[in-house]
């Protein structure tokens, strides 16, 4: 018996900026987790993942990360993904310096 699909977002690291990025419903990439497309269908998620894996000139390590619907868009379902969504923790730069995340 196969496991049920867990709603997920597609995430990777941007090769040039090193920032965490998320696939949006329009097919672009965003630095904001709340702008990510939330996949509810395993086949659609697998197709998107395969397409992302075919972009080694742009993306590093794409994978599906569990998420759930929140009031402002998808929210991480695991603390590791919440940590990645906030950005680097060694000092305020990137998303933190831009005011794009809440601590």
pLDDT digits (tens, 9 = 90+) for 30-65: 999 999 999 999 999 999 999 999 999 999 999 999
Is 100 within a domain?
A: no
Query: How many domains does the structure of the chain reveal?
Result: 1
Percent share of the chain, pLDDT over 70? 82
The reply to whether 80 falls in a domain is yes
The stretch 60-77 carries a mean pLDDT of 96
The set of residues, in sequence order, having a beta carbon less than 8 Å from that of 71 and lying 6+ positions away, is: none
pTM for the full model?
0.82
pLDDT the model gives residue 4 = 86
Residue 27, by phi and psi: left (phi above 0), alpha (psi -120 to 50) or beta?
A: left
Position 94 scores a pLDDT of 59
Range of the domain at 22: 8-86
Q: Is residue 17, in this structure, part of any structural domain at all?
A: yes
Residue of 24, 95, 28, 94 whose CA lies nearest to 55: 28
| Residue 56 domain flag | yes
């Amino acid at each position: 018996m196969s496991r049920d699909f867990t709603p997920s977002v597609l995430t990777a690291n941007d090769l040039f900026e090193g920032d965490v990025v998320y696939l949006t419903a329009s097919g672009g990439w965003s630095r904001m987790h709340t702008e990510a497309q939330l996949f509810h269908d395993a086949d659609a998620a697998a197709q998107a993942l395969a397409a992302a894996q075919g972009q080694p000139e742009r993306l590093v390590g794409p994978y599906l990360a569990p998420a759930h619907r929140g009031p402002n868009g998808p929210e991480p379902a695991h603390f590791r993904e919440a940590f990645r969504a906030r950005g680097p923790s060694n000092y305020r730069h990137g998303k933190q310096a831009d005011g794009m995340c809440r601590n």
